[in-house]
Each structure stands twice: as structure tokens, then as C-alpha cells.
Amino acid sequence: MKEQIRQRAFDLGFDGCRFTTAQPPAHAKEFQRWLSARRHGEMAYLERNAAKRVNPELVLAGARSVITLAASYGEADPACSPGFSRPVQSNNDENHSRSPSQVHPVTGIIARYARFADYHDILGPKLKELAAFVDRLGGRETRSLWYVDTGPLLERDLAERAGLGFIGKHTNLISRTHGNWIFLSEIITTAALDPDPSEKNHCGSCSRCLEACPTAAITAPFQLDARRCISYLTIELKGSIPIELRRAIGTRIYGCDDCLAVCPWNRFAREGSIMKSRARPDLDQASLLELLELNDAGFKTKFAGTPVLRTKRRGLLRNVCVALGNAGDASALPGLTRAAADPDAIISEHARWAIDEIEARVGFMSASTLS
């Protein structure tokens, strides 16, 4: 039955399929301590369903097995793999003396996974089909539930126990055959399936991910303070971004790949069969000035069918304002002035911060020139 399920998963396009038990995850206590330390920030849903996350039987009564699946969103040519997210370019300072028509457009960085159609929409139907296949194989009494990054499961813990990969020092799952660029999903089932061997950690003495984090959110190996993570700040956080962290965000406007991109296991990254046809190359170079002008309808049209919709217009424009402030390009001042009058208080506050940042830099440069 296991091999039939695995083959069906591969036929559906998944790049990995492994099996484990529905026993509580090994790091349940660490997860509970992490919550107690409030390192999850405003992600209240993690606390609300914490009991289920540490006990899969509360998710599905009678659960005996978990099928863990991976779908790669890597690139075919490792040479094309991005390294660190672009830092703010120093040559932007030269733009202050140029007219807007002479200035190259400042672009924002969107995390690689979000430069595809929304993986929930892509993987969901395939998981539904695979779960139905499991139920048919298991017989009338078999029940299965599927999740793609939405269920109350400690999915990285379960994936490591199933041998799908190992949890790196950045707290993400790393596959020895696909690197860091993978989506995880699960099917929890009442079917009894023999577990696969677990994966052991292969980080060794490497600490590149800790060194790469722009905000020092990885406080120690295998320890993440989500409240400092740029992915949290630009996606999960709904209110104002802490002022002390804004400059470190650079021109990232949706998520951050830095800790993933520097991992040496990415040399094994492969192009995934499911995702490769769903890329959104128009999001590789997102003009910040164009994004700043989006109204609600324009935002929904621009990002239809992508994960970026999750931030809503206010979240994205908040991030765009921070990115423009960090880029320091004086040509952004007219657009930021309009944004400062936006009826949304979050957008207007971040726009004013960006204006202050740019004007301070322009003033400093002018003073330096005169001296």
C-alpha cells in the first residue's frame, strides 16, 4: 500500500513522499516553550491550536500515520539560484542629482516562493486526490485529512521524522535532494502504514544561515524569534513595523530568502514538476514606484492568484514605503507624499517615515558636497 501511495504521489507531481506515525512530534515541548516565550508574535492561531499541533490524534481521531510530501520550487540551473537578497544599492545615492527620467526604477524583493501562483491552490487539488486514493486503498473504515501549510501540525518535525529532510539551524526543513526550496504538505490518516527511517541533521559546523539573517532573528542554532524575522514583519504582522527593524528590511517587500539562499545544500536543488509552469516572472522585478500607486482594485488585479494577496493592499504598501525609504531615492518623494495622505493610517505613517529617511540622506549628501 505504501509503494502504491508513493507512486501515486510521484505521478501527481510531488518530488518527495515519506511516511511516519501519528505519534506526538519530538519537539512538542520545545514548541510549547517557544509559545510561552511569546516568540510567535501576533500569530495567535499557533497558540489557539497548540494542543492539536503536539497531538495529531486531536486533529483526526484514530490517526495512525502521516504521509509527508514535498514539492520543489527550485530552479533547473543552480547558477541561477539567488544568493542574499539584494542590499540597498549604494549607487542609489547618485540618483539624487538626476531627474526622475534618468533614474533606474528601484525594485522590491519578493520571496521566491511567492513568485509563483499560490501553492495552496496548486497543491490542494492534488492532495485531495491523493487522500481519496489512500481512503480507497485502505477500505471503508479509512479516513484521511490533507493539509498544505494550513493544518494544526508541526509539519517540519513530522517531515524530519519521516525522512523527508532535516531541520536546519534556520529552523526550516532542508532536503538533501532538493535543498531549501520546497513546499511541505501532509495527509494524516487512520490507515496503518509502516514508517520510513527518520533523517538526521547534516548542518555540521556550518553557520551561514545565522550570519545571513539581516535582523538577527535566528538567535541561536535552531532558535528563531519570529518577531524579528522579515517574513513575519512583512507578511504576518498586520500593524506597524518596529522602527528599529525597518532599515534592516532593505528593499524586501514580501518575505525574505536570505537564510535559505546561503545554505550549501542548495547545490542539490532541482526544478519541481508541479511548480515550474506556475512561475510569475513579472514579480521578479517589482517596481516600487508602480506598486506605491496601486489602489485596492489594482492590488487585487496585480497579485491575483499569488500568495502576496495575503498582505492586502495596506500591508504591501506599508512594506513598499519602508523599502523606498531604505533605497533613499529622491525620485520616490512625490509618490510617498501622496501615500502620506492615504486614508489608511498604517500606510501614511510608513510613508512619512520613508520621506524622513530620504530627506535626511539628501540633506547629508548636500552638506557633504558643500563641505
Which residues have C-beta within 8 Å of that of residue 75, sequence separation ≥ 6? 81, 181, 269, 271
In this predicted structure, the answer to whether residue 366 has a pLDDT above a threshold of 80 is: no
In this predicted structure, the answer to whether residue 264 has a pLDDT above a threshold of 80 is: yes
Share of residues in the chain with pLDDT > 90 (%): 85
In whole angstroms, what separates CA 207 from the centre of its chain? Answer: 20
Q: In whole angstroms, what is the distance from residue 79 CA to residue 140 CA?
A: 49
Q: What would the pLDDT profile of 265-287 be if each residue is shown by its tens digit?
A: 999 888 888 998 999 999 998 99
In the Cβ-directed half-sphere of 213, how many Cα atoms lie within 13 Å?
23
Write out the three cell numbers for 206.
556550518
- CA distances to 84, 139, 206 from 91, rounded to whole Å, are 18, 65, 32
Which residues have C-beta within 8 Å of that of residue 233, sequence separation ≥ 6? 215, 241, 242, 245, 249
Q: Cell 511548480: give the residue.
A: 275
Residue 138: pLDDT band with limits 50, 70, 90: very high
Query: Which has more confidence, 57 or 102?
Result: 57
Residue 187's Cβ-count burial label (10 Å; 0-12, 13-18, 19+) is buried
Q: How wide is the angle at C-alpha 123 spanned by C-alphas 238 and 39, nearest 5°?
A: 35
> In the predicted model, what is the mean pLDDT of residues 291-303?
97
State the pTM of this model: 0.89
Q: How wide is the angle at C-alpha 33 spanned by C-alphas 310 and 162, nearest 5°?
A: 70
- CA distances to 50, 87, 88, 233, 243 from 249, rounded to whole Å, are 30, 9, 9, 9, 11
In this predicted structure, the answer to whether residue 91 has a pLDDT above a threshold of 60 is: no
Secondary structure E strands in the chain: 16-21, 65-72, 107-110, 144-147, 166-167, 173-174, 182-189, 218-220, 223-224, 252-254, 286-287
pLDDT at 188: 98
pLDDT at 268: 87
Task: Please check whether residue 180 is in contact with residue 260, taking contact to mean a CB–CB distance below 8 angstroms.
Answer: yes
Write out the three cell numbers for 223.
532558535
In this predicted structure, the answer to whether residue 371 has a pLDDT above a threshold of 70 is: no
- The DSSP output letter for 40 is T
Mean of pLDDT over the chain: 90
The active-site residue out of 118, 121, 149, 194 is 149
- The DSSP output letter for 194 is P
Residue 81: pLDDT band with limits 50, 70, 90: very low
In whole angstroms, what separates CA 140 from the centre of its chain? Answer: 38
11 is catalytic: no
> In the predicted model, what is the mean pLDDT of residues 211-215?
98
